[in-house]
Structures are given as structure tokens and as C-alpha cells.
Amino acid sequence: MSKRLRDKPSSSLASVQKRQFSPGGGGYEGQQAYSEEQEDARRVADHYSARSNQTFEERENSPIVHLKKLNNWIKSVLVQLYARPGDRVLDLACGKGGDLLKWDKAKAGYYVGVDIAEGSIKDCMARYNGDTYQQRWKKFSFPARLICADCYETRLDQYLFDDAPFDICSCQFAMHYSWSTEARARQALANISALLRPGGTFIGTMPDANVIIKRLRETEAMEFGNSVYCITFGEEYAEKKFPASRPFGIKYKFHLEDAVDCPEWVVPFHLFKLLAEEYDLELVLMKNFHEFVNEYLQNPEFADLMGRRGPLGDGQQGQSTLSQDEWEVSYLYLAFVLRKRGPLPFQRRVSNANRGKTFLAEEDIEFLST
């Protein structure tokens, strides 16, 4: 039986900070269709939970195998650029632990992974224990703790108080799931800000709203895509207008072959930046994936990583590489880095002794109900 916590942290909407986001005097009130959002969050969780760990053959035969490799390369670059040995890592929406090896390579000191999907957290546990083909017998250098919770509704700052401050927080391909309501977006940023140390870094990847809206406007229909993806907007957006006064809850359906099939939300990046600033998180970097790839491929170390592990291969004849359709999908995403404001603490390191575990059983997974 998994450990289910009864003393649920205050996670209802009432507990979420109620300040309304109002740059320039506007306001985003009246956008909290709470039960619908909970249902959507559950739909997202069920979708990811149902996706089990792939075998090596399944992965290599995936129609988006090179896109997955490209995404991994981008995440590796972010981790290598911003993580330092001994860092305490908070991996929000950690999924099946696809980034564990990256944190190991960066010599992380302690790892806390949180995800809403129970199936994914269990897969993450198996990967951490070296029980999957990807990481067979692998022993990770850092102790870990895994939590099953809705990162955008739960007061993680209260729950993880004893583990804070974290040096780095990562939220890969998942921040947009917080943008269904203002309250959820705020709770996400409040958690990150409260758990990061001053000077700590928040790295992430998410869909690029500018590209998505541009693509939508370029077509006469309400959907667009190619052989590997399809994005569908509802008829309520038939005018293809997205007023700045209503930036939350702009839902579309995203289908990506062999990866995603669930609702997602548009995140207007300039508003994400403004909202993050309210939580003392300052923008350091934002790049569309195409720009990111072109820039960091100039770095010999990252170019070498791309050659060894990446989607472009090492140029050997006959080797398949990223297709045009996969490259188009990557244009739908951006990478960002934010830094927590405030004076750097005098003593940066706190001991990680007695934190987490080096082998996790199902009983060790912590469930935070909302």
C-alpha cells in the first residue's frame, strides 16, 4: 500500500493567493471554473499515467524518436548550463524520471521529483532504482524523494519546507498545464519561488504561444499540424482573437504521435514573465527551440553531445535523422530560465545527509491529495 497522507496541506482554491494579476490596471478576474479545471487536471494525469515505460525497440521505432532525442539534448544543455555539483534539485512534473541521468551527470546532491500521474511516479521510482532498460542496474549518486501531487494546486512550499531551499527547480514540458486558471498559475509560481533559494535557478520548457497562435491564424480551419502532431482549438476561438485581459484558460487539444493526447493551455510568455516577477523570479533567458538549437550547437561540447546522443547523428551514411515534421514540432516550443531574486545566502550548502533514500519502494512514494 502506498503512503497516503491524511493531513492534506491546504490546497483548495481558498488557500491560493487571491491577488489578482493586473498589469496596467487591468484584471483577470472571473476566470475560475474550478471543477472543470480539476477534471482537466485529472484528464492530463490519467493520460500520462496510462503511458507506460517504453522498451528500447518501442522507443527506437517511435515516429518521433529523433524529436525525443532533440528534446533530451535541449534539457541536457539546460541542466549542464545551470546545475552545479551538490545542487538540491526540485523536478516539478518529473514524469517517468526521464531527466534522472542528466541530474546524475551534473552531480546533483539531492533530488525531489513531483508529478500528478501516479503511473509516471512509479515508473520514475523504477528508473531511479535501476529497474528499467534505460537505467538497468544504474545507481544514482544522489538520494531521492518522490511525491505524487498536483504541483499547481498543492502548497508544496509547506509540504517541502524541511527540504528547502532548493538550488535549482526544473519544470520540463509541463508549465503550461498550470495555465488553466490564474489561481493555478499563481500557485505554481508561488511554490517555485518559496522553495528556491535567493539566486536559485528555475529552468523549463513549454509551448511557444506566439508560434501556436501564428499557426492557428495562418490556417482557415480551427486546427493545424503535420504527420506527427495536431493542435485543435474549439469554436469559441473562431475569431482567433485572444484578448490580453483573459490570458488564462485558453485551451486547445494537443495530439503528438506516441507522446501526448490531452488538453493544454496557451501561455502568453510576456504575461508569464510579468507574473513570475511578482514572485521574485526574474527572466534570464527565453529562446524558441530553433534558436536554442542553432545557438548551443555552436558550443563544441554540446555539438559533441548532439553527435553522440542527439537526433542529428554523427553524419554516418544511412543513419536516419530528425524529419522535417519533427523539426516543425520543435518550433512549437521554447526554453526559459528564471532566477530567484534576493541576496545570495552566506552559506550555500546545507547537508543532504539523511534526506530522501537511495532505494525507493512503493511505500516511499508520498501522495498529497487535493
Round to whole Å and give the CA distance between 275 and 200. 18
By the rule CB under 6 A, 189 interacts with ligand SAM:
no
| Least spacing, CB of residue 147 vs ligand SAM, in Å | 9
Q: Toward ligand SAM, which CB reaches closer, 68 or 357?
A: 68
Which C-beta is closer to ligand SAM: that of 133 or that of 342?
Answer: 133
Sheet containing 88-92: order of strands: 3-4, 366-367, 144-148, 110-115, 88-92, 166-172, 196-207, 333-340, 281-288
Q: How many residues does the chain have?
A: 370
Q: Does residue 249 belong to the site contacting ligand SAM (CB under 6 A)?
A: no
- Exposure string of 54-84, with b = 16+ CB inside 10 Å and e = fewer, is beeeeeeebebbbbbbbbbbbbbbbbbebbe
Question: By C-beta, is 71 or 129 nearer to ligand SAM?
Answer: 71
Smaller CB distance to ligand SAM: residue 45 or 271?
Answer: 45
The single residue among 65, 79, 108, 116 that binds ligand SAM, judged by CB under 6 A, is 116
Q: Could you tell me if residue 342 is left (phi over 0), alpha (psi between -120 and 50 degrees) or otherwise beta?
A: left
In 112-181, alpha helices (H): 118-128, 156-159
H and E: helices and strands count for the chain: 12, 13
Q: Is 116 left (phi over 0), alpha (psi -120 to 50) or beta?
A: alpha
Which C-beta is closer to ligand SAM: that of 51 or that of 215? 51
- Cβ atoms < 10 Å from Cβ of 236: 9
Size of the site for ligand SAM (CB under 6 A): 19
Distance in Å, CB of 238 to ligand SAM, minimum: 28
**Cβ-based nearer residue to ligand SAM, 166 or 173:** 173
- Written as one letter, the residue type at 67 is L
- 254 contributes a contact to ligand SAM by CB under 6 A: no
**113 interacts with ligand SAM by CB under 6 A:** no
Q: Of residues 77, 78, 108, 117, which one binds ligand SAM by CB under 6 A?
A: 117
Q: Cβ 295 to ligand SAM, closest distance in Å? A: 21
Bridging pattern class, strands 223-225 and 196-207: unpaired
- Nearest residue (CB) to ligand SAM, 331 versus 341: 331
Q: Is 313 left (phi over 0), alpha (psi -120 to 50) or beta?
A: left
Is residue 288 at the binding interface for ligand SAM, with CB under 6 A as the rule?
no
Question: In the window 149-188, what residues touch ligand SAM (CB under 6 A)?
Answer: 150-152, 172-174, 177
If the CB atoms of residues 222 and 232 are measured against ligand SAM, the closer one turns out to be: 232
Residue-by-residue DSSP string for 239-294: T----TT--S--EEEEEETTTEEEEEE---HHHHHHHHHHTTEEEEEEEEHHHHHH
Residues in contact with ligand SAM, shown as a per-residue x/- string from 92 to 111 under the rule CB under 6 A: -xxx--x-------------
Minimum Å distance from CB 348 to ligand SAM? 26
| Beta-bridge mates of residue 367 | 4, 148
Residue 123 CB, nearest approach to ligand SAM (Å) = 9
Q: Which of residues 16-45 bind ligand SAM (CB under 6 A)?
A: 41, 44-45
Taking the least distance from each CB to ligand SAM, the nearer of 36 and 314 is 36
Please give the residues from 317 up to 336 whose contact with ligand SAM meets the rule CB under 6 A. Answer: none
Work out whether 120 is an interface residue with ligand SAM (CB under 6 A). yes
Contact call for residue 48 and ligand SAM (CB under 6 A): yes
Least spacing, CB of residue 241 vs ligand SAM, in Å: 27
- For residues 251 and 40, the answer to whether their CB atoms sit within 8 Å is yes
For residues 41 and 338, which CB has a smaller minimum distance to ligand SAM in the complex? Answer: 41
Q: What is the largest CA-CA distance in the chain?
A: 60
Residue 190, SS3? helix
* Residues in touch with ligand SAM (CB under 6 A): 41, 44-45, 48, 93-95, 98, 115-117, 120, 150-152, 172-174, 177
